[in-house]
Amino acid sequence: MCPAPELDPETSSVTESPCRTDGFAALRSYAPIGDGRTVALVAEDGAIDWFPIPDLDSVPVFAALLDRPNGGRLDLMPTVPFRTERRYLPKTNVLETTFITEAGRVRVTDALNIGFGGRLPWTELARRVEGLDGEVPMRWRVAPGTCFNSTSPWARRTPHGAVLRAGTLNLGICVSENVDVDWTDQTASGAFVAAAGERQLIGVVASECEPLMLSSASDIDDGLDKTIAFWGNWSGQFECPEAWAEAVRRSVLVLKLLIFSPTGAIAAAATTSLPERLSGGKNWDYRFAWVRDTAYTLSALRRFGIREETHAAVSWLLRTVRRHGPDVGVFYCLDGSSPPPVTHYEVAGWRGIGPVVTGNRADGQLQLSIFADLFDTVRLYVDSGHVLDTETGHLLAGFADRACDAWRHQDAGMWELRRTEHYTTSKLGCWQALRCAVYLAELGQIPGDPGRWAGEADRIAEWVRRRCWSDELGSYEWYPGSGKLDTSILLHAGSGFDRGPRMSATIDALRRELGCGPLLFRFSGAREEEREGAFVACSFWAVSALHHVGRRAEARELMDELVELTNDVGVLPEMIDTDDHAFMGNLPQGLSHLALIGAALDLTS
């Protein structure tokens, strides 16, 4: 395939740093920042290689993560050799990177600014540069990309200075008075010396299809302090268990970044098209709200007593399901609309591992576990002392009736496979949903016939015990007669289906056949045939399952090992390569952090 025309050399030049190979940073090097509407990924060398504007699911104007020549990036780093140390400021999503050179040290503080009342009506990136000692020469650059080769950026002069444009996006550059700006027709850049005791600010403000507020550097700098205070105040509403407190707190803060504040929807991840296998082909867009992930997130938020986001997400989910009825979709767009078709782009991908896509092929699949996710979400909400409205009650009663019939069908399973089967955990999803429906009916929250629901739940449980247990494997199997294993069965220690000897034996079989060190692969063949990385969430599910079957010492030991696999600032991806612990798949991945939180809370409850 002939590559798309490149931008000019200044725009498309590769960021050179000790943290990169062929212009690409390792996925493990990225740290997210966000404002409730979008997320930017900051590499260890200070470059921002991923930054959709204005929304998380927008086609990204800064996407060097996937498109090295044309993706666009924001650079800020020393011009001399350096090494870095990083952390998030305590209890915040504000990132601090310290560059250490022979000439001195400089600290860069990165945030997407948030206003007094929450997210700003525009996008505002703040990059504060503080000299700590000595004098360090620095360079910066703002180089918009082509939005996956759909537009060509340009600089436009205005009475109040130049702005950068890319399609319908407007980008303003706001810098301190002592920082010069060099303009080309597609970029803004500059250089300065960071001396001990001095502070500079590099800011970017952005809007789409609306006027652009050109903030002053001092306003953006003040906004950074307000943002730090906002995050500290938000984190102050919950306490973390003493064990693994920092990992849990960071995971909760990562989940907050994935909550799309305009609607309350919860994105599964912040990126698209990062490879699940190094040979390519399994690259998907996870910037959608999965019903499954929403259910798990609400479970975590409820256990921390986080009220506003919980109510917003439940309301969004029920409104969206009602809007698209009568069937529950696997996932929806963050604004509640139907997902678009999968679109492929003429972009090489991270380290040339394509394809680059928007959309996800799982749309339209039948996944029976969706019933459990929906009902468990509502049950948790009711258990928190809330009341369902009449319309929602009737909606749920209809879904319970549907689950009574649907469990007899083949489906795509939790792993969204093209091959449909009678997957064990799909049947248990219907069992869990019907048990929740009975519970809600007994509380008077939904109408309907709980006798029928209870009877069908019993039939499902009996079928699974009779047909889905394999004496040969010493385990529940993936689907009857398959002779294969599936780690999603671990979730049904938590659901209460089985916490006895069979589940304990299943854990052993999974760790023996699908394990590599502390990590687990999703299902039989994922490692050998699919060539995937190990699925991070599955490994934390094993921690919870060990706890539920009474093997608590083993659970704590495994938890200690897994927590060490985060990157230097506590972030987890979808998958991890078992050879070198390199990150794989989209990140930050909400499901991974949710599984960590769930395991920690189970072990400390």
95-101 and 104-112 beta bridge pairing? antiparallel
Per-residue pLDDT band at 599 (split at 50, 70, 90): very high
Whose CA is closest to 375, among 404, 409, 411, 399?
399
> Residues 147, 251: one domain?
no
Report which DSSP code applies to 523: B
Percentage of the chain beyond pLDDT 70 is: 98
Q: Which amino acid is at 278?
A: L
* 207 and 344 fall within a common domain: no
Which of 117-126, 160-169, 266-275, 302-311 has the largest mean confidence? 266-275
Q: What is the pLDDT of residues 381-397, one digit of tens each?
A: 898 888 999 999 999 99
Ramachandran angles phi, psi of 524, nearest 5°: -55, 130
- Verify that 297 and 433 share a domain, yes or no: yes
Q: Is pLDDT at 335 greater than 70 in this prediction? A: yes
Same domain, 265 and 125: no
3-class DSSP state of 317: helix
The Cα angle at residue 578 between residues 574 and 584, in degrees rounded to 5: 30
Q: Which of 2-11, 125-134, 499-508 has the lowest mean pLDDT?
A: 2-11
For strand 169-175 and strand 265-266, is the pairing parallel, antiparallel, or unpaired? unpaired
Residue 2 has pLDDT above 70, yes or no: no
Contact at 8 Å (CB) between 187 and 143? yes
The reply to whether 271 and 126 lie within a common domain is no
pLDDT at 13 over 80: no
Whole-number percent of the chain with pLDDT over 90: 84
Average pLDDT, the chain: 94
User: pLDDT confidence of 545, banded at 50, 70, 90?
Assistant: very high
- For tokens 């979730």, name the residue: 491
Query: What's the rounded Cα separation, in Å, for the pair 310 and 298?
Result: 6
**Is pLDDT larger for residue 107 or for residue 328?**
107
Looking at the fold, whether 215 and 279 belong to one and the same domain comes out as no
What average pLDDT does this structure show over 297-322?
Answer: 89
Judge if 482 and 520 occupy the same domain.
yes
Identify the domain boundary among 188, 213, 236. Answer: 236
252, pLDDT greater than 90? yes
Nearest to 295, CA basis, from 371, 367, 368, 377: 377
pLDDT of the residue at 11: 63
* DSSP three-state, residue 421: strand
pLDDT at 27 over 60: yes
d(CA 377, CA 318): 10
Residue carrying structure tokens 């209460």? 496
C-beta atoms surrounding 449 within 10 Å: 15
Q: How many residues does the chain have?
A: 605
The span from the CA of 221 to the CA of 198, in Å, is: 14
Give Cα 343 distance to the centre of its chain.
21
| Residue 68 within a domain | yes
| 162 — pLDDT class (breaks 50, 70, 90) | confident
Q: Which helix H or strand E contains 230, and what residues bound it?
A: helix 217-235
What's the pLDDT at 200?
97
CA gyration radius, the chain: 25
Q: CA geometry: angle at 41 spanning 40 and 45, to 5°?
A: 130
Q: Do residue 170 and residue 267 come from a single domain? A: no
pLDDT band, residue 122 (cuts 50/70/90) = very high
CA-to-CA distance for 477 and 485, rounded, in angstroms?
Answer: 5
Per-residue pLDDT band at 37 (split at 50, 70, 90): very high
Question: In Å, what is the CA distance from 554 to each residue of 28, 543, 548, 550, 576?
Answer: 27, 8, 11, 9, 22
pLDDT, tens digit, 9 for 90 and up, residues 351-376: 999 999 999 999 989 999 999 999 99
Residue 15 inside a domain? The answer is no
Residue 78, domain member (yes or no): yes
The separation between the first and the last C-alpha atoms of the chain, rounded to the nearest angstrom, is 55
Task: Establish if 173 belongs to a structural domain.
Answer: yes
* Structural domains counted in the chain: 2
Q: What is the pLDDT of residue 14?
A: 59
Please name the helix (run of DSSP H) or strand (run of DSSP E) that holds residue 299, with its range, or none.
helix 291-304
Confidence bin at 258 (pLDDT 50/70/90): very high
Residue range 277-283: average pLDDT?
90
Q: Is residue 18 part of a domain?
A: no
Same structural domain, 174 and 197 = yes
**Complete DSSP assignment for 20-77:** EETTEE-GGG-EEEE-SS-EEEE-TTS-EEEB-SSSTTSPPSB-TTT-TTTSEEEEEE
Which of 200, 215, 236 is at the close of a domain?
A: 236
- Residue 312: inside a domain, yes or no? yes
Backbone angles phi, psi at 418, to 5 degrees: -75, -25
For residue 299, name the pLDDT band (cuts at 50, 70, 90). Answer: confident
CATH number of the domain enclosing 139: 2.70.98.50
DSSP 8-state code for residue 285 = B
Residues 244, 333: Cα–Cα separation, whole Å: 33
Confidence check: pLDDT of 484 > 60: yes
Burial of 167 (0-12, 13-18, 19+ CB in 10 A): middle
Boundary of a domain, candidates 175, 208, 236: 236
Angle 233-235-241 from CA coordinates, rounded to 5°: 145
CATH number at residue 489: 1.50.10.10
Same domain, 516 and 536: yes
Q: How far apart are CA 587 and CA 27, in angstroms?
A: 8
* Total-model pTM: 0.96
544 with 581, same domain: the answer is yes
What does the alpha-carbon distance between residue 311 and residue 308 come to, in Å, rounded to a whole number? 5
* Short-list 215, 138, 145, 209, CA closest to 173: 215
- Asked whether residue 175 falls in the same domain as residue 253, the answer is no
Is residue 157 very low, low, confident or very high in pLDDT (cuts 50, 70, 90)? confident
b (16+ CB within 10 A) / e for 419-432? eebbbbbbbbbbbb
Q: Which tokens go with 454?
A: 């209870």
- Is 19 among the domain residues? no
Q: Is 34 inside any structural domain?
A: yes
Expressed as residue numbers, the domain containing 435 is 245-604
